[in-house]
């Protein structure tokens, strides 16, 4: 269901009723020019289909300012409009150019902005974020979580590397395998080291990463765990809607069904818990602060 032109995108991906649904679900956002959002969302959709590294990264907004990630993976979208962030991008581009001088004097270094693996755009919206995910689904790209807390988790072995006290008895996970030790490590990572990755207790609202997981689970992608990496890709047998048939209308329905817009973290966290670990009680909703 790839959208081949801006006109095709406007008619089949983001018709008036779908656009209005985004507005109704996100009244806090200043929408402004409708055509501008339509055009920018389609640009991100195009940009995210061809990342130079062949994959897309998921994570908090801070990853778009991580020097190592931006230098190596680049940005999808038009990039930021903040002067400090623009200066940062220029520094990364110069660093690429310096590295590219030899032995390739007749070529230019690849651009940091456009064709990258990290979403960054001055007019970010949830439409744009969903288009970033759908672009990767349409192209069958892998998604990888990027979070610096994973790299430092080895310093907290008592929690991230905690081993089960005895045999684990549980329902089958999405891959029909018993809960492995590496999955237990990731369960502990989310519950102890990154408890607010799916839900922000301060604002009592879901995180964008949770929104992205709803899209991946809805359109047939599965989680793949390794000791230091959590990835998402299309398995041999796809369940649910095929990734190639992903669309924004179905995405919005799935968000409602998952509890993303309910205001209740427990509904959403149970859905994500089942998706990642095969049981709805593996993850716990973060506690709201005492007021």
Q: Are residues 186 and 255 in the same domain?
A: yes
Q: Are residues 129 and 167 in the same domain?
A: no
In a domain, 287, yes or no: no
Q: State the DSSP H helix or E strand holding residue 233, giving kind and residue range, or none if neither.
A: strand 229-233
Which residue range forms the structural domain that includes residue 228?
Answer: 148-278
pTM (predicted TM-score): 0.88
Q: How many domains does the chain have?
A: 2
Q: Are residues 274 and 137 in the same domain?
A: no
For the stretch 16-39, pLDDT in tens is 999 999 999 999 999 888 898 999
pLDDT at 176: 43
The C-alpha angle with vertex 153 and arms to 203 and 119, in degrees rounded to 5, equals 55
In a domain, 198, yes or no: yes
Residue 137 has pLDDT above 80, yes or no: yes
Residue at which a domain ends, from 127, 146, 165: 146
Q: Are residues 3 and 139 in the same domain?
A: yes
pLDDT at 99: 83
For the stretch 164-210, pLDDT in tens is 444 444 444 444 445 678 888 899 999 999 999 999 998 899 999 99
Residue at which a domain ends, from 105, 125, 146: 146
Tell me if residue 106 falls in helix, strand or coil: coil
pLDDT at 171: 42
Q: Phi, psi at residue 230, to the nearest 5°?
A: -115, 120
**How far apart are the C-alpha atoms of 39 and 21, rounded to whole Å?**
18
In a domain, 290, yes or no: no
**How far apart are the C-alpha atoms of 251 and 245, rounded to whole Å?**
11
In a domain, 288, yes or no: no
Q: Are residues 95 and 8 in the same domain?
A: yes
Average pLDDT over residues 211-226: 95
In a domain, 286, yes or no: no
In Å, how far are 7, 139, 209, 239, 283 from 263, measured between CA atoms? 35, 33, 16, 28, 17
For the stretch 99-118, pLDDT in tens is 877 666 656 788 999 889 99
Q: Are residues 56 and 185 in the same domain?
A: no
């Amino acid at each position: 269901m790839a959208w081949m032109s801006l006109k095709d995108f406007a008619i089949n991906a983001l018709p008036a009723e779908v656009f209005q649904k985004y507005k109704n679900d996100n009244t806090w956002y200043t929408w402004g020019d409708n055509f501008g959002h339509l055009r920018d969302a389609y640009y991100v959709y195009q940009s995210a289909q061809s990342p130079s590294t062949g994959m897309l990264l998921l994570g908090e907004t801070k990853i778009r300012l991580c020097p190592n990630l931006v230098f190596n993976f680049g940005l999808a979208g038009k990039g930021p409009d903040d002067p400090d962030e623009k200066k940062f991008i220029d520094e990364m581009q110069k660093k690429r150019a310096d590295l590219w001088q030899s032995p390739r004097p007749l070529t230019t270094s690849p651009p940091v902005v456009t064709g990258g693996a990290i979403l960054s755009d001055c007019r970010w919206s949830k439409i744009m974020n969903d288009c970033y995910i759908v672009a990767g689904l349409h192209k069958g790209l892998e998604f990888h979580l990027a979070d610096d807390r994973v790299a430092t988790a080895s310093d907290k072995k008592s929690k991230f590397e905690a081993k089960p006290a005895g045999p684990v008895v549980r329902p089958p996970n999405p891959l029909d395998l018993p809960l492995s030790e590496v999955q237990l490590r990731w369960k502990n990572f989310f519950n102890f080291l990154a408890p607010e990755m799916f839900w922000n207790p301060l604002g009592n609202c879901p995180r964008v990463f949770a929104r992205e997981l709803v899209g991946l689970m809805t359109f047939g992608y599965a989680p793949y765990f390794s000791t230091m990496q959590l990835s998402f890709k299309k398995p041999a047998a796809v369940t649910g809607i095929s990734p190639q048939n992903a669309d924004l209308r179905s995405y919005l329905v799935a968000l409602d069904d998952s509890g993303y817009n309910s205001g209740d973290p427990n509904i959403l966290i149970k859905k994500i818990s089942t998706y990642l670990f095969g049981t709805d009680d593996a993850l716990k909703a973060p506690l709201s602060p005492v007021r």
